[in-house]
Structure 1
């Protein structure tokens, strides 16, 4: 698999990574056996970037990754985790150097390492980006040897741009066929500062697999059920904030563009058409999904006609719902 430079860290990572939210929780039941098999399949396919968070299953996702890497070895593997979402209520005042260090210590134990490859503030309130002391605290944790690098995960393009004022290594942001605004306003800035971009929610919570329908059912513990309207967290995390029925109409229009290639693979390959992207992080709940996601990196580039058609579908169906919101 092709690799891309990970910002200013001196490391390179696979173009397709592994998003480990699904194996932690909030995506329906996933057994430890299936979760570990999915991780093994991704690593076997050349994936070397794993993205997790301390709140994914209250540490379960981190512990599963540690278990698999203990079996395989950690050489060449970059594990990114996140901190901050445990703060309750999740407000700016809850972000303190002491609280963040406590969460980072928890992740060190869960991942069974002495230093974390990358810690990302986990979609903090916008006000946090106006508090330089929080980023200074992360610098101190790098100096103490608990972190190798740090970055942010954001909800909004404006937060991503503001974050570039600090010495971050990466920004994780929702970017997919249904969330295209980052390419207009953020990518060039990040690239100029050698900041890695991690494309999250690359398949729009499954919409861009082409396998969902109006009759699809989701488990009670699946966020695609309980957060459909933003009841639990930002609605942009679920189906990229696109109304479900509207998303299905856009997916039907995309079928005429992608040809015989699985839609999920084409959606991932579309993301890789943007040079500013460092890595896309689709999730997987079993080894078949993980291997299929990784295979997207080997597809030929989309044609100019296909890129134009995707842009037209976005403008017609999706843009009015999401473009100015995030």
Structure 2
């Protein structure tokens, strides 16, 4: 496993880390025993950074990670998120009182005195212009409740707005073979301000694993079934906002240029890690074998410039028109 610095946190984190949305819910059936095996495998493979949120399974993921920390005794960094417990989810709800309440709940779930990294959880766009929200985060740092804060964003423009806050430590954003815009517009600015980049949805909700076909189906409680058009939350979180059948066509061409010694998932993850502005990538894993497959991307050989150019070509051919300007 290779490690990179996570922005202003100063943490040296595994470049392939662990996203815990899937072990909380919204991805079909979840087995806590299997999830614990996946988490334990992650630590064994060198993963030391775990991303979660208070709404993943209503705290289920946070509690599973707390168990991991207690049972392994290994030094791990935990990032959680706050804001999505608001109902309705509106900008006015992002205030000191609510954020403090959410943090206190996460502290209990995680069984820690201080949260390593707290991220605003894809709030409404106007929140990024509310100075008082970031002052509330500063107060939580001063109170010893959180060590660092960052933002999880839907749009590049939101990330650019967040960069104006000098103590912002990290930005979490969708960046993958189907989402190139962050590298074009954001990464250099973030790097200049020593803001870490956490890449989520790296496999486009599984599309980039190459394991799906036009006949693939998903359970009723899987967002890949019920959120394809943004019915429950931002459309971009499901298949990166790409039409499923169009994505399959793009993946078929990506498989033709994939290095023979890599799985499709490893290829997709390595492509992200080729950008040195990236701090880490957080694929989700519900099974130990998925963890091992993902981790291997860290030590895989760099991709050639010819392959990188071909990925750009395929993006331009199939994906750019429908996603590039939307997020």
Q: TM-score range by the shorter chain?
A: over 0.9
1:295 equivalent in alignment to 2:296: yes
Q: CA deviation at 1:74?
A: 4.2
SS in 2 for 1:197: strand
Q: In the alignment, is residue 256 of structure 1 matched against residue 276 of structure 2?
A: no
2:315 alignment partner in structure 1: 314
TM-score (norm: length of structure 2): 0.99
CA distance in 2, matches of 1:10, 1:123: 23
Deviation at 1:78, TM superposition (A): 0.7
Unaligned regions of 5+ residues in structure 1, if any? Answer: none
Question: For this pair of structures, how many residues does the alignment match?
Answer: 325
| Residue 183 of structure 2 is aligned to residue 183 of structure 1 | yes
Local SS of the residue matching 1:116: coil
Q: What secondary structure is seen at the aligned counterpart in 1 of 2:119?
A: strand
Hey, what does 2:67 align to over in structure 1?
67
d(CA) in 2 for partners of 1:150, 1:73: 24
| Partner of residue 279, structure 1 | 280
SS in 2 for 1:59: helix
SS in structure 2 at match of 1:296: coil
Report the counterpart of residue 80 of structure 2 in structure 1.
81
Kindly provide the CA deviation profile for residues 183-219 of structure 1, in whole angstroms up to 9, marking residues without a partner as x: 0000000000000000000000000000011111101
Query: 2:107 aligns to what SS in structure 1?
Result: helix
CA contact (8 A) 2:259 2:267 kept: no
RMSD: 0.6
Q: Can you list the C-alpha shifts for 1:105-157, whole angstroms capped at 9, x where unaligned?
A: 00000000000000000000000001000000000110000000000000000
Partner SS, residue 128 of structure 1: helix
How far apart, in 2, do the equivalents of 1:220 and 1:9 lie?
A: 39
C-alpha offsets along residues 233-292 of structure 1, whole Å, 9 cap, x if unaligned? 000000000000000000001011103220000100000000000000000011000111
User: Is 1:201 matched up with 2:164?
Assistant: no
What secondary structure, in the 3-state scheme, does the structure 1 residue paired with 2:21 have? Answer: coil
2:317 is paired with a residue of what secondary structure? helix
**Structure 2 counterparts to residues 1-326 of structure 1, below 5 A:** 1-75=1-75, 77-166=76-165, 167-260=167-260, 261-326=262-327
Post-superposition CA distance 1:75-118 (Å, at most 9, x none): 2x110000001111111011111001000000000000000000
Which sits farther off after the overlay, 18-27 or 88-97? Answer: 88-97
| 3-state SS of 1:101 partner | helix
Unaligned runs of 5+ residues in structure 2 are none
Aligned counterparts of 1:251 and 1:39: Cα–Cα separation in 2: 28
Q: For 1:57, what is the secondary structure of its paired residue?
A: helix
